[in-house]
């Protein structure tokens, strides 16, 4: 052997050792009887000198030797490269390896053994052991490759009973059909999935399940959310109780106020001018309180709703109806519609009328002119429609414009609660729209509401 070839072989051996040590890899060569003829062991036990001449079955008890023995034997028998992953379940935890074996040939071309290499992947799974979630992984053939302690506690199946086994063979009968369908779909289509599932007795628990697929199979993480579900149920019961209480109170208060208004009408003819002036104040405040109960009812409906509105609503018919009602409610005001109103459908529900009603009422009630002038116009754009409600009132200072829609915010000199504009803001947000207030020219304010279109009306 030449000196150059000897030096190159030495360098190759040193490089191989460097790679094996840096990557915490195990490597070996075995003869056709699977006895080790060369070894690099990344762990201190057993010592390399004790491994030489021994088979894996002689070195490691029971199931620990089966994966490596089968891998090497398959490479020798098939005369081809064999690759696979496997897990060792040990008392101190689970070790995951990726391994490969290839046949070795003598000078005559006959198989004289196999070479083997394995890399420890355990660090990739270590965080799955530390998480509070129950976790397991399977390969593309449904063989369980990891099963953490939380999963063992939940299912009463230890890792050494299921790791290396087909998932469906061990737990198939206990997996609900809906869950099985989800797992098989993720395995087939890839990607990830997240859903909630209730397991009845004896588990009696809600779990949040996340499934992540990759080329080697998938990982399942499940978290016990029973406490959260119980909390949500309590909130639901409280919400229902509050909703009923709210309805009863509004109903009773409104009935009492209607009685006050009726008695005020009854005694009106029996009072002098001064008494009638005081009675008018009583009647006005009672009517105002009735309006507040209606606004409170609308706000409750919004707050207690469980889903965002997405029904198509005819924009023009709703706005025209509210304009007519406003003209009847405020006969002293001049309320006009400027230009045609677009015949479009927008996102909304039966509460959309409250948006226009409250804005029109706000423009009239908070107007300091002898004759309030309200002008309503609308413009259709590609994706939405914008309605402008302009008044000739006192206007809103710039420093107050950003807060005017806040809960409890009142206009300057207002006797109201400020809840009407808060309701408007809440509803418009629910519909995916926008509302703004700007100065009118030469005086007053302009409230502009933008609502997303759904489809163009054929009316």
pLDDT of the residue at 93 = 62
The percent of residues above 70 in pLDDT, for the chain, comes to: 83
Model pTM score? 0.44
| Nearest-angstrom CA–CA distance, 181 and 158 | 24
* Average pLDDT, integer, range 209-213: 92
Maximal CA-CA distance, the chain: 133
DSSP assignment of 342-377: P-EEEEE-TTHHHHHHHHHHHHHHT--SSS-EEEEE
pLDDT of the residue at 91 = 59
pLDDT tens for each residue of 318-354: 999 999 999 988 889 999 999 999 999 998 887 888 8
Close Cβ partners of 424 (under 8 Å, ≥ 6 residues apart): 354, 355, 358, 359, 405, 435, 449
Q: What is the mean pLDDT of the chain?
A: 83
* Average pLDDT, integer, range 12-32: 76
Does position 116 have pLDDT exceeding 50, yes or no? Answer: yes
Look at 6 and 126; give whichever has higher pLDDT: 6
| Nearest-angstrom CA–CA distance, 453 and 348 | 10
pLDDT of the residue at 249 = 61
C-beta of residue 374 within 8 angstroms of C-beta of residue 391:
yes
Structure tokens of 457? 């009306």
pLDDT level of residue 270 (50, 70, 90 thresholds): confident
Number of other residues whose CB lies within 10 A of the CB of residue 332: 9
| Burial per residue of 425-434, b for 16 or more beta-carbon CB atoms within 10 angstroms, e otherwise | bbbbebbbbe
Q: Please classify residue 32 by burial: count the beta carbons closer than 10 Å to its beta carbon, then call 0-12 exposed, 13-18 middle and 19+ buried.
A: middle
Q: Could you tell me how many helices (H) and strands (E) the chain has, helices first?
A: 15, 17
| Nearest-angstrom CA–CA distance, 211 and 221 | 7
Range of lowest pLDDT (48-57, 91-100, 134-143, 428-437):
91-100
């Amino acid at each position: 052997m030449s000196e150059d070839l000897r030096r190159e072989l030495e360098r190759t051996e040193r490089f191989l050792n460097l790679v094996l040590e840096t990557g915490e890899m195990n490597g070996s060569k075995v003869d056709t009887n699977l006895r080790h003829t060369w070894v690099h062991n990344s762990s201190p036990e057993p010592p390399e000198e004790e491994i030489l001449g021994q088979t894996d079955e002689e070195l490691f008890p029971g199931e620990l030797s089966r994966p490596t023995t089968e891998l090497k034997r398959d490479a020798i028998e098939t005369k081809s490269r064999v690759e696979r992953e496997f897990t060792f379940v040990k008392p101190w935890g689970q070790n995951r390896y990726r391994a490969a074996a290839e046949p070795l040939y003598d000078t005559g071309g006959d198989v004289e053994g196999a070479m083997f290499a394995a890399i420890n992947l355990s660090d990739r799974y270590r965080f799955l052991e530390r998480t509070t979630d129950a976790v397991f992984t399977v390969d593309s053939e449904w063989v369980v490759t990891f099963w953490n302690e939380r999963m063992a506690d939940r299912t009463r199946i230890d890792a050494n009973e299921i790791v290396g086994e087909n998932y469906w063979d061990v737990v198939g009968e206990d997996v609900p059909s809906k869950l099985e369908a989800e797992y098989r779909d993720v395995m087939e289509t890839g990607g990830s999935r997240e859903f909630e599932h209730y397991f009845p007795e004896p588990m009696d628990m809600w779990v949040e399940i996340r499934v992540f697929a990759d080329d080697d199979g998938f990982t399942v993480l499940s978290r016990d959310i029973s406490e959260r579900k119980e909390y949500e149920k309590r909130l639901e019961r409280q919400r229902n109780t509050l909703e009923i209480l709210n309805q009863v109170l509004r109903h009773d208060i409104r009935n009492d106020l209607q009685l006050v208004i009726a008695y005020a009408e009854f005694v009106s003819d029996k009072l002098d001018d001064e008494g009638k002036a005081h009675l008018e104040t009583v009647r006005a405040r009672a009517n105002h309180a009735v309006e507040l109960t209606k606004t409170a009812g609308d706000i409750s409906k919004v707050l207690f709703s469980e889903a965002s509105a997405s029904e198509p609503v005819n924009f023009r018919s709703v706005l025209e109806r509210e304009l007519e009602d406003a003209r009847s409610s405020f006969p002293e005001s001049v309320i006009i519609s400027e230009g045609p109103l677009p015949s479009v459908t927008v996102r909304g529900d039966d509460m959309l009328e409250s948006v226009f009603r409250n804005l029109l009422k706000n423009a009239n009630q908070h107007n300091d002119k002898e004759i309030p002038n309200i002008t309503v116009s609308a413009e259709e754009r590609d994706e939405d429609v914008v309605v402008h409600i302009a008044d000739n009132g006192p206007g809103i200072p710039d420093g107050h414009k950003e807060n005017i829609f806040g809960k409890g915010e009142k206009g300057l000199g207002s006797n109201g609660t400020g809840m009407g504009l808060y309701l408007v803001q809440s509803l418009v947000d629910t519909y995916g729209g926008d509302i703004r207030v700007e100065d009118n020219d030469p005086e007053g304010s302009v409230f502009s509401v933008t609502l997303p279109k759904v489809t163009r009306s054929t009316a």
